[in-house]
């Protein structure tokens, strides 16, 4: 999961707007940030660094950068480690001109692509799968850059939502399966591309539409020109985890409100025992209040409280100056981050029965530490409710779960998970109920992390592109 943003204008300077767009997408990546543009001499330039957007980039400098098109990226590592060489956009000035690429997703055929390219003389400067796309473009010197890009994208497989900067303009491209979201926005005569629609409101733009799966959209002085990749998909694979956790709640994906989807997930979780685990039928009598794990569990907890009639309480307080724990790169940082980030209210929990709602349980790190802290508050009972199905399979399309050994539900029974994290009971939303809550047909959603049904076949074992672990 990364965030990409692009801007094109015929008259306005847009580098600072890309900076602001990345600020709005900060939840999608906290390891590095970058902005690329083409200068008056026709060469691509890039400013990038490690850390949050305001740490990695100089807003004042970008505000004075006189360019009418630019692209940007915020990153957390899936394929490739956390280092400056892997920070994006990845740029080159090659025989046919300047090119910069910002990529959200993972390529599942990276190993074969990289071997083929290296055998043809390519020298890789990073371990990011995005660089393979750049080399595929450069290895077609007889084609204009846009045609070379189209040819390159026909050779890659897996998840890619891209913004690409060429002399011809800004290009948005989405894989034929539609794994990761990508949207088009507009303000006056300016056009914007973003991983999520939430970034548009910050710069005063409005959502126009989603970039369609398999679409390559060129934005330049001639307006919008849409191309289609030849590769066909027999069904959609939009990541359902975007609705569960990844996207900001004020975003709209494929016409569906993320907020409303999460609220309905909470309602369905409270409504019946259709999910998995030791669900206490009729939770309305099982607790004194409903709490949540901020912030991604907030919306589902509101829906849960509304449906169950149990009072809602903001009983776990978040330190607003600490970022997400799930997307931190190491287990040690995740563990320390939880204690710094979250603090349960002793006055609310002491002597009371509580239902704690979270959006997902992946490794179990956050839930276990928070439950332990709540136990220290002398809670009488604590029932954990998860507003998504158990995550039992790794994701190969852009989420940091490369090994089944990292996943709590893949190595433990649900009763064992409840016991290991110290909860009195644990239950999950069923897959069917999650799909109903999202409101899109099941054959348009990827649920591989829940059911093992991958693009390349059920429960297919594939190697992690960065480390080789299955």
Q: Check if 2 is active-site.
A: yes
Which of these, 269, 277, 287, lies nearest to 416 by C-alpha position? Answer: 277
In the three-class reduction of DSSP (H, G, I as helix; E, B as strand; rest coil), residue 63 is classed as helix
Angle at 49 between CA 44 and CA 52, to 5 degrees: 125
Q: Cβ–Cβ contacts within 10 Å for residue 24, how many?
A: 25
Distance from C-alpha of 135 to C-alpha of 123, rounded to nearest angstrom: 9
Give me the catalytic one of 2, 198, 239, 449. 2
Torsion of CA 39, 45, 47, 53, to 10 degrees: 70
HSE, CB side, 13 Å, CA atoms: give it for residue 194. Answer: 33
Residue partners of 146: CB distance under 8 A and separation at least 6? 166, 168, 171, 218
Look up residue 312 and give its DSSP letter.
B
CA 199 to chain centre: 14
User: Which pair of tokens denotes residue 144?
Assistant: 């204009």
Distance from C-alpha of 229 to C-alpha of 327, rounded to nearest angstrom: 32
Which of these, 125, 130, 126, lies nearest to 152 by C-alpha position? Answer: 130
Distance from C-alpha of 35 to C-alpha of 96, rounded to nearest angstrom: 21
Q: Cβ–Cβ contacts within 10 Å for residue 255, how many?
A: 10
Determine contact, residues 154/230, Cβ cutoff 8 Å. Answer: yes
Which of these, 167, 172, 89, lies nearest to 128 by C-alpha position? Answer: 89
Residue partners of 167: CB distance under 8 A and separation at least 6? 38, 42, 97, 98, 145
Q: What are phi and psi of 253, to 5 degrees?
A: -125, 125
Q: CA 384, 390, 396, 401 torsion: positive or negative?
A: positive
Q: What are phi and psi of 436, to 5 degrees?
A: -60, -40
In 289-401, which ranges are continuous DSSP H helix? 298-308, 331-341, 346-349, 365-376
Distance from C-alpha of 49 to C-alpha of 86, rounded to nearest angstrom: 10
Torsion of CA 181, 7, 113, 42, to 10 degrees: 180
User: Hey, which residues are catalytic here?
Assistant: 2
């Amino acid at each position: 999961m990364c965030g990409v943003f692009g801007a094109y204008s015929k008259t306005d300077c847009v580098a600072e707007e890309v900076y602001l767009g990345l600020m709005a997408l900060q939840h999608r990546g906290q390891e590095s940030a970058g902005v690329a543009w083409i200068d008056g001499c026709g060469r691509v330039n890039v400013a990038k660094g490690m850390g949050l957007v305001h740490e990695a980039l100089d807003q004042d400098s970008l505000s004075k950068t006189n360019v009418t098109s630019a692209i940007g990226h915020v990153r957390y590592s899936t394929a490739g480690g956390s280092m400056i060489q892997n920070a994006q956009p990845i740029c080159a000035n090659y025989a046919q001109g300047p090119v910069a690429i910002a990529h959200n997703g993972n390529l599942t055929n990276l190993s074969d692509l990289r071997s083929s390219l290296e055998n043809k003389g390519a020298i890789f400067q990073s371990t990011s799968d995005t660089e393979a796309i750049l080399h595929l473009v450069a290895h077609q010197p007889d084609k204009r850059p846009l045609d070379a890009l189209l040819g390159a994208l026909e050779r890659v497989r897996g998840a890619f939502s891209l913004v690409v900067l060429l002399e011809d303009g800004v290009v948005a491209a989405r894989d034929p399966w539609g794994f990761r979201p990508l949207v088009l926005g507009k303000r006056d005569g300016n056009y914007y591309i973003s991983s999520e629609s939430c970034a548009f409101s910050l710069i005063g733009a409005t959502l126009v539409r989603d970039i369609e799966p398999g679409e390559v959209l060129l934005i330049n002085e001639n307006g919008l020109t849409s191309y289609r990749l030849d590769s066909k998909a027999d069904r959609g694979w939009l990541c359902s985890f975007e609705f569960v956790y990844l996207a900001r709640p004020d975003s709209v994906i494929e016409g569906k409100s993320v907020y409303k989807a999460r609220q309905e997930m909470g309602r369905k979780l409270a409504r019946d025992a259709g999910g998995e685990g030791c669900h206490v039928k009729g939770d309305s009598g099982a607790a004194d209040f409903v709490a949540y794990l901020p912030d991604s569990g907030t919306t589902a907890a509101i829906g849960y409280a509304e449906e169950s009639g149990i009072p809602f309480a903001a009983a776990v307080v978040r330190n607003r100056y600490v970022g997400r724990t799930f997307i931190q790169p190491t287990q040690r940082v995740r563990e320390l981050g939880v204690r710094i980030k979250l603090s349960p209210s002793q006055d609310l929990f002491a002597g009371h029965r509580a239902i704690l709602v979270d959006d997902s349980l992946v490794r179990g790190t956050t839930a276990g530490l928070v439950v332990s802290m709540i136990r220290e508050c002398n809670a009488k009972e604590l029932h954990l409710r998860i507003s998504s199905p158990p995550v039992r399979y790794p994701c190969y399309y852009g989420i940091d779960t490369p090994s089944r050994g990292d996943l709590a539900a893949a190595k433990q029974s649900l009763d064992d998970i409840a016991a290991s994290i110290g909860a009195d009971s644990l239950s999950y939303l069923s897959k069917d109920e999650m799909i109903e809550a999202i409101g899109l047909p099941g054959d348009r959603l990827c649920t591989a992390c829940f059911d093992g049904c991958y693009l390349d076949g059920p429960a297919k074992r594939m190697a992690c592109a960065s480390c080789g672990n299955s």
